[in-house]
Chains A and B, each alone.
Chain A
Amino acid sequence: MSTARPARDLHPGAWWLWAMGLAASATVTTNPLLLLMIVGIAAVTVSLRRADHPWSSSFRLYLVFGLVIVTIRVVFRVLLGGGFGSSVLLDLPQIPLPGWVAGIRLLGPVTLESVLAGLYDGLRLATIVICVGAANALANPKRLLKSMPPALYEIGTAIVVAVALLPQLADSLRRVRAARQLRGVPGGRIGRLRAVVVPVMEDALERSMSLAAGMDARGYGRAGDLPRSQRRTTGVLMLAGLVGICAGTYALLDQTAPRWLVMPGLVGGVALAGGGFWSAGRRVQRSRYRPDRWRTEEICVALSGAAVAAGVLGPLRDDPLLHPALDTFPTVTTTALVVVLLGIVAALVSPRPVLAQETAPPLEEVGDARAA
């Protein structure tokens, strides 16, 4: 059904909202079944809806990272011992520690409960990380930066350029290392490092300069005429906003501060700062080519994530199944199942992504052939 629709890239914000919804619901549960379901939903959606851009393949890295998190959590539970619970899996001798590290145990009997607690806890963190990874693989980071408010445009472009230069740096490193083989490898570690670092840095510097020249020649950084008074307004708005936010945050955290500071400080500060951004953005005469629009699909995807979060944080909030006991097999109810499964709606309603190309030669060969 979804294949009938024309391919289109979703607004990156929609994917991020969806992933944040999943991640938010993962934060409040340690039920491994629910967590694994969330990971499954993320994985299925990514495999169905990711494009063939370089960042799309990063999801696997996040999966590996999640696995590492779980392993570390379990290993630490064993090493530092939880010690609670009664079903001992492995009776390791406890290593005596001096009195001043009271409260820390090294090794000791390994119980099923402590291992499970570590496993569930690790799984929760891993799920959150994997949700972020899913958003990263699905949403084009460059397009996300493009959707930033105009006042932040320059910073956004700088980040985009930095991101683009990384693969070029890798490319240049590969080239220089190959070139190293063509003449001797100098003796000594410093010499060897220098023989690679110097040409790579020279290359990177030259590239950056020519990119800067190219961008300047194409009008990057053209500033509109801005009257002095408006610049002052912008400055005052930003400063006042910052002061408001600081005061509000302080009042929120310090219980002795007067309560009336909290809401006006935070809300007013944010509003003022927003005004400052808007005022600064007015200076920018830039326009956007084919900006990403929020359409039905975007809203559905974002809602699908939000629904999971709302369901888990709302009706299910106090349900004991979110934190299953460690001595029985965890269970789920139909309601919980349905709530979490709402997340898969994103994969169904979203259109197929636009693939960059099916038939182009791989980058490396083109890079070799092109006179770089």
Chain B
Amino acid sequence: MLELRDIGFSYSGHAGARSAATPVLDHVDLTLDEGELVLVAGRTGVGKSTLLGVFNGLVPAFTGGRLSGDVRLDGASILHLAPRDRAHVVGYVGQDPTAGFVTDTVEEELAYGMEQLGLDGATMRRRVEETLDLLGIANLRSRDLRALSGGQQQRVAIGSVLTMHPRVLVLDEPTSALDPTAAEDVLATLTRLVHDLGVTVVIAEHRLERVVPFADRIVLVEADGRVRVGDPAAMLQHSPVAPPIVELGRWAGWSPLPLSVRDARRRASQLTLVPAARPAARAPSEDAVLEARGVTVTYGRHVAVRDVDLRLTAGQVTALMGRNGSGKSTLIWALQGSRKRVRGTVRVAGEDPADVGAEARRRLVGLVPQTAADLLYLETVTDECAAADRDAGVSRGSAGALLERLAPGIDPEAHPRDLSEGQRLALVLAVVLTSQPAVICLDEPTRGLDYPGKTALAEILGSLTAEGRAVLVATHDVEFVAQVADRVVVLADGEVVSEGTTARVVAESPAFAPQVHKILGDPWLTVEQVVAAGAGR
């Protein structure tokens, strides 16, 4: 139906991370069929978003660059149609749904696209009602878009293009900002569209573990701009990015690879694993680096965090989990001292971060916020590092050395905006670490990171704890938590509902269980553990 023929794309004459010589897309041939779910995968920065943009014309209309080849709809070329003139065929939902909202209530947002198409009032009314029901958001119809939760916003964004009855729906990382439950809701909605309405859905996503079970085909974008297309099980056999379930399957030599937890569980019964003496969780030292008691934070009348007790011990990574809006970010900022507490105490090395000046606070608690780029404002990596040295009052080159240790090989003359997600995160972390804080907090650090990127981050956090720091990570990413965390604290509605070692908390709540645990049960959390145990068999 929709067909890409020999598509090539490159940024010409741009100085920057991508040199002009390397094409982002090269000789891409891809045909989308009616009613299939296609997953676009690949490492960070390989042009997955570019490929999605080619479908509806945002590339090159909004990105610049040179596009060659042809885009055909039912055999007719639509290459030269502007995105707005393809709107009734290709629906597009960008990475951040809130950035694309034009109106302010759910109902108006759903109708906006149809107004542009000039549909008559009765049709619009009918389609809005149908879409509200289809997405399960009928109770939200007159709500303010900005007051919705992340999952609800994502569903509204999907609905707002669905009302135009597009034949292809293109989504760029629809679940990356969502907690596991909200992500499941959104994916369930998408599969329903594929099955019931025959809509073709194209998804680019880093968290393959969430989407792979639903995908009909996988498009693997490679570093040289070529793509490989095929059946998920076959494609994932050699993919550079693979969810834990696939890694487990590869290790165990299962063929074809199981893609859903259910399949894998059946295969796993043949697997005999002797729980090796597990590398016991690093012995919890008794000295708490950070001790919080009864922390309560309010916004007006709304209580965001209520009576939270938290102990962070040296040499441990603690994960802070909970659904969107459960108060994770607020708690982190309160621990750091910037957010005013209504009640409670926080002690770091005998001091309360809220009582000391900003400079002393930075030496107690370092924080990498959700949008890490907020900290960066200079033109080159070198400048950022030099500024960090000056600000922290340490010898020249400290931040640079830290960065080299965290993420070796970053071009010192590169613009921070041109770095990859993972490199930028490492730069911000290096800037924050220059003040030598005893506690490091990270808010959603894994957004936009692929599996190798997350492994690198896990290693960085491991080395920080080895130095005797305490690390607190707020995240939705259960696989990352299984990989990195010693302890888990689960927040709900601003209160701690569950707390303990990772294995225990994960065993207690299935929503937070990583894939390996779902397949093999206790005490397995990561593929690494299984491999280690298997090697000893």
Task: Identify the A interface with B (CB < 8 A).
Answer: 53, 142, 157, 160-161, 164, 175-176, 178-186, 194-196, 198-199, 202-203, 207, 209-222, 224, 285-291, 354, 356-357, 360-372
**Shortest 7 CB-CB contacts between residues of A and residues of B:** A184-B391, A214-B100, A289-B111, A219-B87, A371-B177, A219-B116, A285-B118
Contact (A184, B302) CB under 8 Å given A369-B325, A370-B98: no
Interface residue from B90, B107, B146, B336 paired with A366 (Cβ < 8 Å):
B146
Residues B377 and A181 in contact, CB atoms below 8 Å apart: no
Residues A199 and B102 in contact, CB atoms below 8 Å apart: no
Residues A369 and B302 in contact, CB atoms below 8 Å apart: no
Q: Which of A160, A185, A366 has the most CB of B within 10 A?
A: A366
Q: Which of A220, A289, A357 has the most CB of B within 10 A?
A: A289
How far is it, in angstroms, between the C-alpha of A180 and the C-alpha of B119 when the chains are bound?
48
Residues B99 and A366 in contact, CB atoms below 8 Å apart: no
Contact (A157, B115) CB under 8 Å given A179-B375, A216-B58, A371-B444: no
Cβ-closest chain A residue relative to B325: A369
How far is it, in angstroms, between the C-alpha of A371 and the C-alpha of B120 when the chains are bound?
36
Chain A residues within 8 Å of B95, by CB: 210
Q: Which of A194, A195, A212, A368 has the most CB of B within 10 A?
A: A368
Chain A residues within 8 Å of B300, by CB: 362
Residues A222 and B117 in contact, CB atoms below 8 Å apart: yes
Chain A residues within 8 Å of B374, by CB: 175-176, 178-179, 199, 203
Chain B residues within 8 Å of A372, by CB: 96, 98, 370-371
Residues B359 and A184 in contact, CB atoms below 8 Å apart: yes
- What string of 1s and 0s marks CB contacts (under 8 Å) between B79-106 and chain A? 0001111011011101110111111110
- What string of 1s and 0s marks CB contacts (under 8 Å) between B327-340 and chain A? 11110010010100
Residues B144 and A356 in contact, CB atoms below 8 Å apart: yes
Contact (A288, B148) CB under 8 Å given A183-B431, A222-B85, A368-B330: no
Residues A211 and B117 in contact, CB atoms below 8 Å apart: no
Residues A185 and B358 in contact, CB atoms below 8 Å apart: yes
How far is it, in angstroms, between the C-alpha of A289 and the C-alpha of B114 when the chains are bound?
8
Which of B237-245, B271-279, B361-369 is the contact stretch? B361-369
Cβ-closest chain B residue relative to A153: B115
Cβ-closest chain B residue relative to A284: B118
B56 at the interface (CB under 8 A from A): yes
List 19 additional contacts besides A216-B82, A220-B102; criterion CB under 8 Å: A178-B333, A182-B366, A183-B375, A184-B387, A210-B100, A213-B94, A216-B61, A218-B113, A220-B116, A287-B115, A289-B111, A291-B121, A357-B147, A364-B299, A366-B148, A368-B333, A369-B324, A370-B149, A370-B153
Residues B115 and A289 in contact, CB atoms below 8 Å apart: yes
Residues A287 and B118 in contact, CB atoms below 8 Å apart: yes
Residues B304 and A287 in contact, CB atoms below 8 Å apart: no
Residues A181 and B338 in contact, CB atoms below 8 Å apart: yes
How far is it, in angstroms, between the C-alpha of A180 and the C-alpha of B101 when the chains are bound?
28
Residues of B within 8 Å of A, CB-based: how many?
94
Interface residue from A160, A179, A216, A365 paired with B325 (Cβ < 8 Å):
A365
Chain B residues within 8 Å of A361, by CB: 147, 299, 302, 325
Interface residue from B61, B87, B121 paired with A222 (Cβ < 8 Å):
B87
A to B CB contacts below 8 Å, 21 in the list: A160-B103, A164-B102, A176-B374, A178-B333, A182-B375, A184-B362, A184-B388, A217-B84, A218-B100, A218-B102, A218-B112, A219-B85, A220-B116, A222-B87, A356-B105, A357-B143, A361-B302, A362-B302, A368-B330, A370-B153, A370-B177
Chain B residues within 8 Å of A196, by CB: 377
Contact (A214, B102) CB under 8 Å given A184-B387, A288-B115, A361-B302: yes
Min CB–CB distance B80 → chain A (angstroms): 15
How far is it, in angstroms, between the C-alpha of A188 and the C-alpha of B112 when the chains are bound?
47
Min CB–CB distance B60 → chain A (angstroms): 12
Cβ-closest chain B residue relative to A217: B92
Min CB–CB distance B198 → chain A (angstroms): 21
Min CB–CB distance A343 → chain B (angstroms): 29
B373 at the interface (CB under 8 A from A): yes
Chain B residues within 8 Å of A164, by CB: 102, 104
B128 at the interface (CB under 8 A from A): yes
Chain A residues within 8 Å of B90, by CB: 217
Min CB–CB distance A55 → chain B (angstroms): 11
Residues B113 and A219 in contact, CB atoms below 8 Å apart: yes
Chain A residues within 8 Å of B62, by CB: 209, 212-213, 216
Residues B388 and A142 in contact, CB atoms below 8 Å apart: no
How far is it, in angstroms, between the C-alpha of A263 and the C-alpha of B61 when the chains are bound?
50
Contact (A289, B121) CB under 8 Å given A142-B103, A214-B99: yes
B66 at the interface (CB under 8 A from A): no
Cβ-closest chain A residue relative to B146: A363
Cβ-closest chain B residue relative to A357: B143
Chain A residues within 8 Å of B148, by CB: 366
CB under 8 Å from chain A, chain B span 311-335: 324-330, 333
Chain B residues within 8 Å of A287, by CB: 114-115, 118-121, 124
Chain A residues within 8 Å of B299, by CB: 361-362, 364-365
Interface residue from B116, B150, B359 paired with A370 (Cβ < 8 Å):
B150
How far is it, in angstroms, between the C-alpha of A179 and the C-alpha of B328 when the chains are bound?
17
How far is it, in angstroms, between the C-alpha of A354 and the C-alpha of B104 when the chains are bound?
14
How far is it, in angstroms, between the C-alpha of A160 and the C-alpha of B369 when the chains are bound?
30
Residues A371 and B370 in contact, CB atoms below 8 Å apart: yes
Cβ-closest chain B residue relative to A216: B83
How far is it, in angstroms, between the C-alpha of A53 and the C-alpha of B91 when the chains are bound?
30
Chain B residues within 8 Å of A354, by CB: 142
Cβ-closest chain A residue relative to B366: A182
B160 at the interface (CB under 8 A from A): yes
Residues A369 and B326 in contact, CB atoms below 8 Å apart: yes
Residues B371 and A221 in contact, CB atoms below 8 Å apart: no
How far is it, in angstroms, between the C-alpha of A186 and the C-alpha of B375 when the chains are bound?
12
Residues A290 and B125 in contact, CB atoms below 8 Å apart: yes
Chain B residues within 8 Å of A180, by CB: 375
Interface residue from A198, A211, A356, A362 paired with B102 (Cβ < 8 Å):
A211
Chain B residues within 8 Å of A364, by CB: 299
Interface residue from A175, A214, A224, A357 paired with B371 (Cβ < 8 Å):
A175
B310 at the interface (CB under 8 A from A): no
Interface residue from A219, A362, A369 paired with B150 (Cβ < 8 Å):
A369
